[in-house]
Chain A
Amino acid sequence: MASSSEKWLDAYYDPVASLYTFTQCLTLSDIQADGDWKLIVADLGTGSYDMKLKVYKNTTLMSEHTIIDLPTGVVTFYMDTLTPRTPAIAVASGPYIYVYKNLRPYFKFTLPPLEIHPVEEDLWNQVKDEQVNVHSMREMLETLRQEGAALTVRSLRLLQMDIGNVQNFVNLHKHTPLKKQTVITCLATMKKSVADEDAISCLVLGTENKSIYILDPEAFTVLATMNLPNVPVFLSVNGLFDVDYRIVVSCRNGCVYTLKRGSTDVTRNMIELNSHPVGMERVNKNIYVGCMDETLHCFTSKGKKLWTVRLPAGITTIEAIDYKPKSFTAVLVALNNQEVHIYKEKYLVDIIKMDDIVTGMRFGRFGREDGTLVMSTKRGGLYVKILKRTAKFEEKDMSAGPPASQNVKLNVPKKTKLFVDQTQRERENGVAMHRTFQRDLAQLRLKVMREYVKVLDNSLNPISSDPMEPLKLSAHVQGIGPTFKFTVKLQNTSLSQATTDLLITFDFDDKLYNFHKRLIQVPMLVPGLTYDFDTFVDCLNDKGITDNVKVYVLKQGKSVPVLTGVVSMPVSESIVVV
């Protein structure tokens, strides 16, 4: 595996940027129309106060705006046709969308108020006219809540309070009219009528009351409202509002719905996930969903599952790569184990190792560089990596399974006619061939056994099988001829018993050889020791003929030799006459 440093350049890192943000709150855009793309970050501050909208130019913080509530999404969009083409920034926060133009606050859009439960409204009206006690009101609100009615934020706050503070709270708020507002959960953009890069876009927002709103960018009116069975959390939009569009929404109940222009049936092409979604991206026509159960799924736009990849750790966020100069598309998956995995289709093509958990990622153009990956981490760091010009992502690079060399074709020679005929014959007569082989094998074994028995019967082997005479014999021939030295070594291999009355004699062809000693008397053999007995042998032939010589060890009074050794004599040198 090639290390990720061969593919990514570390352009910038600030481990103490103190950014608390997520993928939805990061965006890259050319907000000054000068070709130098800025990084726009909605910083959640401490999580309860100090929320900021930050804009980075290159590596320096260019501007900062305070946001009143927690931001839930940041996008940039073109809202007019004026030149220079400067896009506006939209920040979703609570029930509002704050629009910034040229880095100045421009407009605040408020979501349309919702209908208040009539009983709740009555209660607040009665308490204003002091027709009802605050405590009985509180009890009635509690029963309403338990019945499952959606209450206003003010009533919910009241229910959370200690009994002692309720009176003050009611006195403070009872004169302001009761309003019920929802909260924006996700934000996206959709081109209105032209697909150009800098065409006017609508804002698409998902809200806590299970609805999707599409806003007109010029007048900020609601163009379309769609209802969902659950609260939307991630949006993926493509198409044009005036022509045809498709919004893929993943919801908090673990389902992914597809909304189309003019279609009201959201359950068509519905995808049910096994777990809750933590990120959703659309690449080409496929929907990639990262789930809480450490899996990454891929679905077609029709809702058919293509594949699932199990990851080594929990997913924190996912982001799509669409790098046009090399037409490279992939999905970045940030994991809890401080790694970012890059999947091209279902193949893991690269791993970026970080020193912190990545919580927010955005890939795109930053500054003047196209392939830039901006990451924010759990401890508040900001990292910028640039894709190298020479980087190549090879498919199946690191995926589990057979190694690549297995797929390399061997240079197998062409099949000859002989080979084909042989194969044909083997295929047809397989059974007969096997039987013949088995029979021959059995006969070979039988022959071996017979020979072995014969050897044992005639004591033709150099190690004695007789338990009374445990002896070992070995014989050597030394010299180059015509006279050789013939040495016989005898060892008594028993542990305690000495052997007596042994003789050594030789069986040879007397036309070829002449042994100086034909019979050697063996003394008593002490167990364990090796005894050498030698004699000289003359070779009588100078034609290079050799023969075997047998060595017998005999016991006095026995007709069968105790041991037999066979020595093959070497070829003798001819006699040199000087």
Chain B
Amino acid sequence: MGFFDSLAQWLGVKKKEVNVMVVGLDNSGKTTIINHFKSPDAKSHDIVPTVGFSVERFKSKALAFTAFDMSGQGRYRNLWEQYYKECDGIIFVIDSSDKLRMVVAKDELNLLLENPELKNRTIPILFFANKMDARDAVSSVKCSHLLELQAISNKPWFICASNALTGDGLHEGVEWLTDQLKVVLQKKKK
């Protein structure tokens, strides 16, 4: 890193960059969540099912995020593992109104946790129990119980209820992720 870069960073002009992966089943609201963080002029109005994946950038108060918005459709889910190596954090989006597919989300989460790239890394995982506004949505506590999140022992995780349409709960989650990633970056420096 050049002198000017470190100076700029110290002054807070240039932010540190981190890669995060956004995963979850299809129709859980991954793209909508990312869309919420984009600047108002870059926001898209209709959100269509993602094909493959798309790369989006947004900033939080201390970090610049590069988000890999992965498609959640069954046939694209095997793409996820290709990007595990490069990511510093994971955002796992759950459709809390889809009780039937909670087991599928759990299965995909277990596959993710068991992946050799991630198994021994202490990588922070942020869970969004999305669609809290839906009538038959389950609470975030119930969500974490259904996905057996308490069994994750070697990774910091956090679940927060969200509504990607209004933005409720999204900032709370990303603030937690920012704090966690800062710790990771500091450790890396040492």
Contacts and interface: CB of A to CB of B under 8 A. Distances in A.
B104 A12 contact: no
Contact of B103 (A9, A370, A390): A9
B98 A367 contact: yes
Given A9-B107, A59-B100, A368 B26 contact: yes
Contacts of A48: none
A371 to B, nearest CB: 8
Contacts of A368: 25-27, 98, 101
B175 interface: no
Contacts of B103: 9-11, 386
B104 A369 contact: yes
B111 interface: yes
Contacts, number: 50
B108 interface: yes
A390 B25 CA distance: 15
B104 A386 contact: yes
Given A60-B136, A366-B100, A386-B101, A325 B75 contact: yes
A19 interface: no
Contacts of A123: none
Contacts of A60: 136
Contacts of A9: 103-104, 106-107
B74 interface: yes
Main secondary structure of the interface of B (DSSP, over half): helix
A58 B26 contact: no
B100 A11 contact: yes
What does DSSP make chain A's interface, helix, strand, loop or mixed? strand
A325 B104 CA distance: 16
A11 B107 CA distance: 11
A390 B27 CA distance: 20
A384 B74 contact: no
A388 interface: yes
Contacts of A454: none
B79 to A, nearest CB: 12
A384 B101 CA distance: 10
A10 B146 CA distance: 12
A289 to B, nearest CB: 32
Given A9-B103, A9-B107, A11-B104, A389 B98 contact: no
B77 interface: yes
B32 to A, nearest CB: 16
- The interface size bin for chain B is 20 to 34
Interface in A359-373: 366-370
Given A11-B104, A58-B98, A368-B26, A389 B74 contact: yes
Contact of A370 (B25, B74, B100): B74
Given A58-B136, A368-B26, A12 B75 contact: no
Contacts of B26: 368
B38 interface: no
Nearest to B72: A368
A368 B111 CA distance: 20
Contacts of A388: 107
B93 to A, nearest CB: 14
B100 A367 contact: yes
Contact of A11 (B25, B78, B101, B111): B101
A9 B27 CA distance: 19
Interface in B98-120: 98-104, 106-108, 111
A368 B24 CA distance: 13
A389 B107 contact: yes
Contacts of B98: 58, 367-368
Contact of A12 (B74, B77, B100): B100
Contact of B108 (A12, A59, A389): A389
A485 to B, nearest CB: 72
Given A368-B26, A368-B27, A389-B108, A58 B100 contact: yes
Nearest to B27: A368
B107 A58 contact: no
Interface string B129-152: 000000010000000000000000
A367 B101 CA distance: 8
Given A12-B100, A386-B101, 4 more contacts: A58-B97, A367-B101, A368-B27, A389-B74
27 contacts: A9-B103, A9-B104, A9-B106, A9-B107, A10-B103, A11-B100, A11-B103, A58-B97, A58-B99, A58-B100, A59-B99, A59-B100, A60-B136, A366-B100, A367-B98, A368-B25, A368-B27, A369-B74, A369-B100, A384-B100, A386-B100, A386-B101, A386-B103, A386-B104, A389-B78, A389-B108, A390-B111
Which 4 pairs, one residue from A and one from B, show the smallest C-beta to C-beta distance?
A9-B103, A367-B100, A11-B100, A58-B100
Interface of A: 9-12, 35, 58-60, 325, 366-370, 384, 386, 388-390
